[in-house]
Amino acid sequence: MSTQPKSFQELINGETPVLVDFFATWCGPCKTMQPILEDTSKQMGAKVKILKVDIDKNPLAASKFQVRGVPTLILFQKGKILWRQSGVVPVHQLVQIVNSTLQANA
């Protein structure tokens, strides 16, 4: 029995919070976010999934969530947007925001 990879919609509707990085390959600040997201992932562990969405390959997702600039980070849980911000967010601030947002919505 093979397990199909979950769709974007299934992931953001799940119990596990998902931090989505809407990015573009041509975006300089997006490249800055890559190591920040890797550090955030290490610090947060299984508490949050991190997903990268290329707006050029997924224009419908970008449009649906009104992503006007990249990078845009959106934290989803159970299909709801808990937090969103455009621009580069330092790792310590990102971890703090995600932790406090999850506690406030627990």
Q: Looking at the domain assignment, is residue 44 inside a domain?
A: yes
Domains in the chain, number: 1
Catalytic residue among 13, 14, 27, 84: 27
Q: Looking at the domain assignment, is residue 1 inside a domain?
A: no
Question: Which CATH number do you get for residue 60?
Answer: 3.40.30.10
pLDDT of residue 6: 74
Task: Quote the domain boundaries for residue 99.
Answer: 11-104
Torsion, Cα 9 12 14 16, to 10 degrees, reads: 150
Catalytic residue among 30, 48, 67, 70: 30
pLDDT of residue 1: 42
8-state DSSP, 32: H
Beta pairing class for 49-54 and 18-23: parallel
Q: Looking at the domain assignment, is residue 24 inside a domain?
A: yes
Q: Looking at the domain assignment, is residue 27 inside a domain?
A: yes
Please count the helices (runs of H) and the strands (runs of E) in the chain.
Answer: 4, 4
Answer yes or no: are the C-beta atoms of 51 and 65 closer than 8 Å: no
User: How does residue 4 score in pLDDT terms, banded at 50, 70 and 90?
Assistant: low
Catalytic: 27? yes
Distance in angstroms (rounded) separating the CA atoms of residues 31 and 105: 30
pTM: 0.92
pLDDT of residue 60: 93
